[in-house]
Chains A and B, each alone.
Chain A
Amino acid sequence: MNEPAVLTVLTAMLGGAIRVSTPFMFVSLGECLTEKSGRVNLGLEGTLVLGAMVAYAASYHTGNPWLGVLAAGVAGSVLGAMHGSICGLPRVNDVAVGIAMMLFGVGVAFFFGKPYIQPQAPRLGSIPLGFWSDSPSLKSALQVNPVFFIGIALALAIAWALRNTRWGLVVRTVGDSAAAARAMGISVNVVRLMTTTIGGFLAGVGGAFLSLSYPGSWNQGLSSGQGLMAVALVIFSRWDPLRCIAAALLFGAAGAIGPSLQAIGITQGYYFFNAAPYILTLGIMIATSSAKHSARDMPGELSIAK
């Protein structure tokens, strides 16, 4: 492989990392917030797919892609609120409800999404940050969507709020010890309902990015496990919103390897590189988990790693 080819792959991976990471970022931020309150929502894969469908449909009908983003967030919050309220009932298992919500969300998205596979909806515009460069590949790599920056701003805001506000303290208390929270007079279920709803909103917005920016169309194979991987990312990020961003970028780069190599004509191992993000997720989970003690910084009420 000669030098420019390596460079092409690296710039394509940079651009890919930014593009591919955005949905990961939103879903893992949402899940991070939900898990901080001591509950796991495995259904975000379904939320992501439904968000993508709703965003595409809303953008198609209104002509405004940002309304699509908003609609996706609302649809995601509805699913989140469903999960949050069902899990608030006694003796209901949040992991199992997550699986059910995943199947339900995907089913609803496919049901209503069928008429939108063909038509073209207005997509979200990007900011050309590569204006200073002459290289067309770098220019296209630095076509960054504003949603990416919104995600980073949100991560900073959530990280700050969790650490420094009363609201953040309440969420963390509920997540670490429901009994202590109850003793403080906090309604555990209401807090968890709220964090799950907000988490659903964020995952829905992540879905909107999938259908309205990159890859930028709606079809049934759009997500294939990205929501699930984002949930796994949260464990790796040790429930820290800022580490979620870093992990999402890492995943974006891993997901971009296959298409980048294809761009310079290497198609061998295409399926291997397609599977790379799943293998990487599993590898990270194996490397960072331990059978002896629970994960570092894990909210004490979390059922997922007990």
Chain B
Amino acid sequence: MSNAPIASDASREIVSPTATPPARSDFADRLRANSEYAVIPLFALLIAAVLFALFLLAIGKSPVDFVAYVWRGGFGTAFSLQNTLQRSAPLILTALAVAVPARIGLIMIGGEGALVLGGFAAAALAIPLINGHAPVTLTLILMAVFGMLVGGFWVGLSGFLRYARGVNETISSLLLTYIGIAIMNFFVEGALRDLSNPNKPSTMPIGDAYMVGKIPGTQVHWGFAFGLILCAALYVLMTRTTFGFAARVTGGNLRAALAQGLPVGRLIVACSAIAGACAGLAGFFEVTAIQGRANASLAAGYGFTGILVSFLARHNPLAIPPVAILLGGLVASGGLIQRRMDLPDATVLVLQGLIFVVLLTSETLYGRFAIFRPAGGRDRT
């Protein structure tokens, strides 16, 4: 049911084994074939930008100003660039939460819920640890592990329900997001509320001593580095290991996987749990590097933007960081655009929605251009 890229090279000409390929390097062929996956999304971005520019013109705003403010607010200065990198950290992690299940053929959109619950779980675990004056490093490791476990459980639940009961994972993961946010609100406004903070219901602050620091020499917290490491690790896991191969077989053809005796259920739950753990880690970093406590600000929409990041990156973990930085810059410049251009804060949402719609429309373009086909009809694998 998914449009995972593995299934997208179906329309190939069948070549007789005797046909000798013309003298061209295998690398050039592969480059030519794979460039399709970069050119078409870039084309979609361009079309979305043109449509958005027309939209801005229609409401009497200048698209040139918009681009200038996005540049200034997101990339132009050392400060804004670091702010962008910081915001792209949760986007990278929540995009991984979409990309990994996509490989096994699931459209999971529960990253927001896993982020919120993972962050909340980490903050809740911190309370007894900090009261007991536990060592900082140990506390942070335990918080991160607990946040990942809770996030992993939350999305893993959607995967389990998909396998065991055939419940549609897209709907269940989004429902679990709403439930997760309600659970956090229940505790944050009740049992775990910090009564010394009358303004906004929050858990007890974890305190400066227990906050995750910045990457040395930058103003970017460690979540960004962990995001990059996880992208590389999950790329290797999904493309270079038996586990990843089995997952991709399952995503490509469930019946074939079952006929091969692959442990389909365990694979589905494992991929979902990995996804949730990534989002849970994003929540951990939001709590320990940005907010300092768990409250409603955790549900800032990173999980939803992460869906778009993953689709733009075609669910390829290596393509996620650049796309996340691009969209992180857009999110980061939202405030500036709002103030200077007198546009609502939802402007960024409109642009994201537009990009998403145009991007999915562009799916229809794959395989239509001869230029991307390897010369001589050579098969690419």
Contact = CB atoms under 8 A, between A and B. Distances in A.
Contacts of A304: 1, 168, 170
A23 to B, nearest CB: 16
Contact of B349 (A111, A229, A292): A111
Interface string A42-80: 100010000000000000000000000000000000000
A132 interface: no
A67 B275 CA distance: 45
A96 B108 CA distance: 10
Contact of A275 (B166, B170, B174, B178): B178
B311 A271 contact: no
Given A114-B344, A291-B165, A103 B308 contact: yes
Given A99-B109, A271-B185, A282-B179, A232 B349 contact: no
B163 A291 contact: yes
Interface of B: 1-3, 8, 107, 109, 161, 163-168, 170-172, 174-176, 178-179, 182-183, 185-186, 189-190, 304, 307-308, 311, 344-347, 349-354, 356-357, 359-361, 363-364, 366-367
B2 A100 contact: no
A42 B175 contact: no
Interface string A262-287: 00000000011011001101100110
B364 A90 contact: yes
Interface of A: 42, 46, 82, 86, 89-93, 95-97, 99-101, 103-108, 110-111, 114, 224-225, 228-229, 231-232, 235, 271-272, 274-275, 278-279, 281-282, 285-286, 289-292, 294, 303-306
Contact of A278 (B166, B179, B190): B179
Q: Which 6 A-B pairs have the closest CB atoms?
A: A104-B353, A107-B349, A110-B346, A275-B182, A100-B356, A271-B186
Contacts of B350: 104, 107-108, 111
B47 to A, nearest CB: 13
A108 B58 CA distance: 14
Contacts, number: 154
A274 B182 contact: yes
Nearest to A273: B182
Contacts of B3: 91-93, 96
B360 A100 contact: yes
Given A99-B170, A232-B175, A282-B167, 15 more contacts: A91-B8, A92-B361, A93-B3, A96-B107, A100-B357, A104-B354, A104-B356, A111-B350, A271-B183, A271-B186, A275-B182, A282-B175, A285-B171, A305-B166, A305-B168
B43 to A, nearest CB: 15
A291 B264 CA distance: 13
B352 A103 contact: yes
A303 B174 contact: no
A285 B174 CA distance: 13
A46 B354 CA distance: 13
Given A95-B1, A229-B175, A289-B166, A89 B364 contact: yes
Contact of B311 (A89, A96, A278, A303): A96
A275 B178 CA distance: 7
A271 B189 contact: yes
A173 to B, nearest CB: 22
Nearest to A90: B364
